[in-house]
Amino acid sequence: MATIREWWSADPNERFWLEATDRLDLGHDLHAPAFDEEGKEYWGYSLVRHCALGDVVMHYQKPTGIVAFSLVSGLPEPIEMEWIARGSSARGKGLRPYMRPGYRVSLTGFRPFPKPLTLSAIREKQAAISETIIALRDDVGAPIYFPFELSESRPLRPLQAYVSKLPSAFVDLFPELLPAQHAINCGINDDGSRAGQSDALAREGALRERLHRYRERDGGLPRLKKLKALADRGQLRCEVCGFSFREKYGDIGKSFIECPPQDGMIHGSKPWLTLEQLRKHLRSLSRATIAGLSGDLFSK
């Protein structure tokens, strides 16, 4: 049995998948057979079992392109399903659908993209995509289960795989996919429902489940927080004490906002402190300090 290389497992930013299908009920679930027509494991099916709670599944609806996305809301479960491969080789064999063992992953939060990412739009960036994929393969090895065939002799085209791994570097190339990047920060509740935070940047600390539960730290969150702060205020300041690295160190500090002491105080408490709780604590200490200094002055 072939082994899937989870090259993405150590990188919290690699949480994107692509479902390529012509089904009409997009966003309901992912489901695929356990084996191909020859009884062998095929990565285009097997990757369904490697989706983790809270991951983003983008939907490539043939022939339009990437039209929508959903969030994974359940762990893979074995099912009996009716399935037939839809590739050209399967059509040539005249195969018919039949019942077979498979796996299903539930989805939630289905959302169409305001502007679908068409195949022609993807092809316009074929050179940049090729560079990105070559760099990724050099870094993590192969295979990476990329959903598109890249060739110097013909335009990029989708593979016949049902589910593929979509690298975050690919997603970064297309502004059309930005809603999926934001949605991944909303998180999934423990019961599998989509989290209801109004702030798309409030996902840090969400519980995530694979084979065990752990407290997640989203590697893309600092970048999104910085971009939002710069857009709203034109500068980066600590949300607790107001400290600015740019004011202290000049231009070399303009892109820094990480404050390990405050971060440690928030995450070192059980339950975690909110920003407002830490601000109140800081204000109470400031008032106590002022009162103490006033007492010292009047006692002299």
DSSP 158-210: E-S-SEEE--HHHHHT-GGGHHHHHHTTT-B-TTSPBP--SSTT--TT-EEES
What mean pLDDT is predicted for residues 172-182?
Answer: 92
- The amino acid present at 173, given as its one-letter code, is L
Express each pLDDT in 28-86 by its tens digit: 999 999 888 777 899 999 999 999 999 999 999 988 999 999 999 999 999 998 876 66
What mean pLDDT is predicted for residues 190-214?
Answer: 42
- The amino acid present at 249, given as its one-letter code, is Y
Q: Map out the domains of the chain with their CATH numbers.
A: 16-178 (3.10.590), 235-299 (no CATH)
Position 62 scores a pLDDT of: 85
Q: Are strands 77-83 and 65-72 parallel, antiparallel or unpaired?
A: unpaired
150 pLDDT tier (thresholds 50, 70, 90): very high
Would the CA dihedral through 105, 147, 81, 24 be positive or negative?
positive
Position 236 scores a pLDDT of: 76
Query: What is the Cα–Cα distance from 123 to 144, expressed in whole angstroms?
Result: 20
208 pLDDT tier (thresholds 50, 70, 90): very low
39-53, 82-96, 98-112: the lowest-pLDDT one: 82-96
What mean pLDDT is predicted for residues 126-144?
Answer: 95
